[in-house]
Amino acid sequence: MSLSDFYEIFFYGIWVLWSILWVVLARNVKVTARRQAALPRLLNMALLVCAAAVLAAPHLPVAGLEVRLLPGSQWKLWAALGAALTFLGLLFTVWARITLGRNWSGVAAVKADHELITGGPYGWVRHPIYSGLALAFVGMAIAGGQWRGVLSIALVLVAIVQRIVVEERFMRQQFGAVYTAYAQRVRAFVPGLV
């Protein structure tokens, strides 16, 4: 097996394992009291699926997206860095998902008896699952080293910003001043920055 084959198996494998874990962890959650409207939810999911497809497709029909952005002569460095960032990003999402517990939802929602979680990764950023996903996509983009990665990251960021806006509104409505104080202490997406 070549090193490039190893990285290809690694990237597909880690996402498959993450997806399986995500499905397993999705069981036994609280009943949803309020959720984002269907059309914005579908748009959000479509953006994420398109972002993944842009990175995973062997060839793209759009000229220029397969042009190398990062030097191909150093592909081993980019692949290793990308693999590390992808792994760390997905690990961060799992930590956040486990910390969130039964309050988790696959869509922007408020659960019955929703609790405001501020510990673990939620002490670093208010939306650590999105932060971790963004980091994982950045890792994949770096590993690929092509312009398609830039497009993929842009699609992911649009989807994440859309979700954050809705979730922030829901959390402020649900928790009022307590959430406002939390938001003043903890950044939304990138520790210490955004």
Q: Mean pLDDT for the chain?
A: 93
Residue 193 has pLDDT above 90, yes or no: no
Tens digit of each residue's pLDDT (9 = 90 or more) over 92-137? 999 999 999 999 998 888 989 999 999 999 999 999 999 999 999 9
pLDDT score, position 18: 96
Distance CA 82, CA 15 (A): 13
CATH of 3-185, one of 1.10.3720.10, 3.30.70.100, 1.20.120.1630, 1.10.10.10: 1.20.120.1630
Segments making up each domain of the chain, as ranges:
3-185
Taking the CA of residue 82 as centre, how many other CA atoms within 13 Å lie in the half-sphere pointing to its CB?
25
The answer to whether 56 and 143 are in contact (CB under 8 A) is no
Give pTM, 2 decimals. 0.93
Strands 32-35 and 109-111: antiparallel
| Structure-block tokens of residue 175 | 């928790």
Amino acid identity at 83: A
Residues 54, 155 contacting (CB under 8 angstroms) = yes
Assigned token pair, 117: 């979680």
* Residue 31 DSSP SS3: coil
Higher pLDDT, 142 or 63: 142
Do residues 69 and 153 make contact, with C-beta atoms less than 8 angstroms apart? Answer: no
